Amino acid sequence: MGPLPSPDDFGRYNEIVPGAAERILAMAEADAAHVRLTQKRAQTFLFSERLVARVLSALFASGALALAGYLALEGHDTVAGVIAGTTIVGVVTALIFGRGPASDG
């Protein structure tokens, strides 16, 4: 809804349609409440999305490092080093530059 009419115009609205000024104010209040609710939902969704992304990223990194440890114990040092190295580089890069899956930037 656009800006509210001036106080003089409110009087004219009431002259044409009794109670119109109250209805206009009620519409403005309802619209403002809807905007606040929509913004709150968007912020809640963004928070949830970022939290899930961080948890899943931590699980992935932990799994990759555990796999690298297992491979190292089994004698596959080169493969373990590649998996561990790329995982660490990826996590550190995401932390430094903030370019993770749920990042704004």
Among 2, 22, 1, which Cα is nearest to 10's?
Answer: 22
Predicted pLDDT of residue 67: 94
- In sequence order, which residues have a C-beta less than 8 Å from that of residue 1 and are 6 or more positions away? 27, 28, 31
Q: Tell me the C-alpha distance between 54 and 96, whole Å.
A: 14
Predicted pLDDT of residue 57: 86
Predicted pLDDT of residue 105: 47
Residue 99 has pLDDT above 60, yes or no: no
Its pTM surpasses 0.85: no
From residue 54, alpha-carbon distances to 16, 49, 65, 67, 101 in Å are 58, 9, 16, 20, 9
Q: Tell me the C-alpha distance between 61 and 53, whole Å.
A: 12
For 3-38, the pLDDT digits (tens) are 788 888 878 888 888 998 899 889 999 999 999 999
